[in-house]
Amino acid sequence: MPDVWNRPNPEFPGVQNSWVDRNRKVPRPLQAEVRPFNREGHRALAPLTRNSPLYRRSYAHKHFQPSLRDDPNYGLAGRVFKLRREVGHRGYGGVATHNEAFVPSNRGYGVVHRNQQVWGHGERRRTMFGDEFRVGFNRLVSGHSVRCFFTDNICLDKKLGEGGNGTVLRCYFRDSPHPYAIKLSRHDVHAASLETECENLEALSRLAPDCIVPFIGRVYDRRHIEQEDVERYHGRRVAPPPIASIVLQYMPHGDFGSLTSLLSRSYAFSDRGTPHPEVARFYIVDILMKLYGIHQAGYFHGDVKPANMMMTPEGRVLLADFGTARVDFRDNWSEGVAGTFCLMAPELFTYVFEGFQDYAGPRTYADLWSVGVILHWLIFGYSPYNGSAEEEIYRDLNAFVREQRWPEIDPSDLLARHKWEALRFIKKLLVWSPYSRPTWNDIINDSYVHDQWIMMKTGTLRAPLVHHNGRWMPTPEWDSLL
């Protein structure tokens, strides 16, 4: 029997971290660890005993846990066990799985992702049926207690997306069947960017929690934490350990870019595939409300685009990817930029090309420029300027502002009034000088924003689309416009 079964359990001193009593060679009683469920999903009152045929069958199969998935009386628990087997839950060691993105390792119960072992094994822990996972620890960082995890607490699953400074995958905690999202640094050079993003998320989780994708915690390599403890024990000063990754709430309903693609395919109101202007107005006001939250917290985003906005089941937007975000004060105004060029404000191109005097001023105005470009695309179906490279994009941006190439609206169009009102607001945002763009007080009191802002803030206006039964469905309030 492998040594991992006989290791002392650090949480329960004097208790072997094993499901097997070495003297009696039979499974230990599970009354304290596992309680089965009945058909309605409630915990059964009767404990599971050694004399139970269900218990004996699980021991015969050498799972060392009751095989509740085979019993029709324990449907909910059976589905939990089945899900954990499908994702390679390490409570089952080397159980085979059909998921090609994750294959359990036979090398010390490690984790293998795409034929490459990325994380090693950890101590086995008793499985509970609670909704909250029982892994992790609290750590004091910059005067605040944050939730942290070890790499061996997490099982990786399929890849969700990839950006400039990291890769996002779906993952599972060993003590929870619920999926989460984890962001891994692509290269060592991006480790500092991941550290900065983690600090931004921790601060915004306290200051503007309703505006961002919920942050779960940091992930460390266990060896680094143990080494830090040894160094402190000997009285040596040590640097903070590096972050391996960050864990976020899993957002299964996609980003705003995928939702706009659905709107153009199924709910278009023009030949260009644009939605109804009032639908576009709702989402733009929702984006502005989230940006207002982080700006009031003292931060700018730095890369506002549809791919960095995740959708909730209620059809609302949450901001994501804060790798380019910073506190908006003078010391950060001289830093370079790493945003998306086709949505970047003109003043930030001074960091891209040589020969310009670098812009040193507030960066929140650049976020508003990006919102103006997104609104232009939603209303008229195309971006106000284009290009395949930085130089071409900047040249076309200059021509757009200098020549005032605003779209022409046909007065006979039934939606002309809505488009004129949207174009008026776009012109307020797409101004060359950042100091000439509107303040938040001007935006909130603008006729294009104010009424929608109040109704959305008070919850009297629902989103045009909500996620129901695995698909996006129009709400009754918006059914006539979709």
- List the domain boundaries for the chain: 23-86, 137-249, 256-481
**137-249 and 256-481: same fold?**
no
The enclosing H or E element of 173 equals strand 167-173
Phi, then psi, of 29 in degrees rounded to 5: -65, 140
The pLDDT value recorded for residue 356 is: 64
Tokens of 29: 């009683």
Q: How far apart are CA 30 and CA 65, in angstroms?
A: 8
Please give the single-letter amino acid code of residue 413. D
8-state DSSP, 33? T
The gap from C-alpha 278 to its chain's centroid, in whole angstroms, comes to 28
Confirm if 141 and 202 have CB atoms less than 8 A apart.
Answer: yes
Return the bridge partners of 103, or none: 112
The pLDDT value recorded for residue 165 is: 73
Q: Quick one: which of 420, 441, 443, 417 has its CA closest to 431?
A: 443
* Distances in whole angstroms, Cα of residue 180 to Cα of each of 156, 248, 320, 356: 10, 6, 14, 43
Q: Quick one: which of 437, 415, 340, 429 has its CA closest to 376?
A: 429
8-state DSSP, 249? E
In the sheet that holds 137-141, the strands lie side by side as 137-141, 144-150, 215-220, 245-249, 179-184, 167-173, 154-162
The pLDDT value recorded for residue 134 is: 63
Phi, then psi, of 170 in degrees rounded to 5: -80, 145
The pLDDT value recorded for residue 277 is: 95
The answer to whether 290 is annotated as binding is: no
The pLDDT value recorded for residue 188 is: 60
The enclosing H or E element of 199 equals helix 191-207
The enclosing H or E element of 300 equals strand 299-300
Q: How far apart are CA 184 and CA 278, in angstroms?
A: 38
Q: Quick one: which of 164, 220, 195, 177 has its CA closest to 87?
A: 177
Phi, then psi, of 434 in degrees rounded to 5: -65, -30
| CB-based contacts of 301, cutoff 8 Å, min separation 6 | 291, 294, 308, 319, 322, 324, 325, 367
* Distances in whole angstroms, Cα of residue 321 to Cα of each of 259, 300, 326, 364: 18, 12, 12, 16
The pLDDT value recorded for residue 187 is: 64
Confirm if 194 and 166 have CB atoms less than 8 A apart.
Answer: yes
Is 1.10.510.10 the CATH classification of the domain at 256-481?
Answer: yes
Q: In a 3-state reduction of DSSP, which class is residue 118?
A: strand
| CB-based contacts of 131, cutoff 8 Å, min separation 6 | 176, 178
pTM: 0.72
| CB-based contacts of 210, cutoff 8 Å, min separation 6 | 293
The pLDDT value recorded for residue 464 is: 95
8-state DSSP, 211? S
Q: Give the domain 137-249 fold.
A: Phosphorylase Kinase; domain 1 (3.30.200)
Q: How far apart are CA 226 and CA 242, in angstroms?
A: 13
Return the bridge partners of 165, or none: none
pLDDT in tens, the chain (482 residues): 444 444 444 544 444 443 333 444 444 443 333 444 444 444 444 444 545 444 444 444 444 444 444 444 444 444 444 444 444 433 333 333 333 233 333 333 333 333 333 333 333 333 333 334 467 888 888 788 888 999 888 999 999 988 777 889 999 988 778 899 999 886 665 567 888 899 999 999 999 999 999 999 999 988 888 888 788 777 777 777 888 899 999 999 999 999 999 999 999 888 888 999 999 999 999 999 999 999 999 999 989 999 999 999 999 999 999 988 999 888 877 776 777 889 998 888 877 666 566 777 888 999 999 999 999 999 999 999 998 888 899 899 999 999 999 999 999 988 999 999 999 999 999 999 999 999 999 999 999 999 999 999 998 999 999 999 889 999 999 988 88
Return the bridge partners of 212, or none: 319
* Distances in whole angstroms, Cα of residue 228 to Cα of each of 141, 224, 236, 280: 14, 6, 9, 51
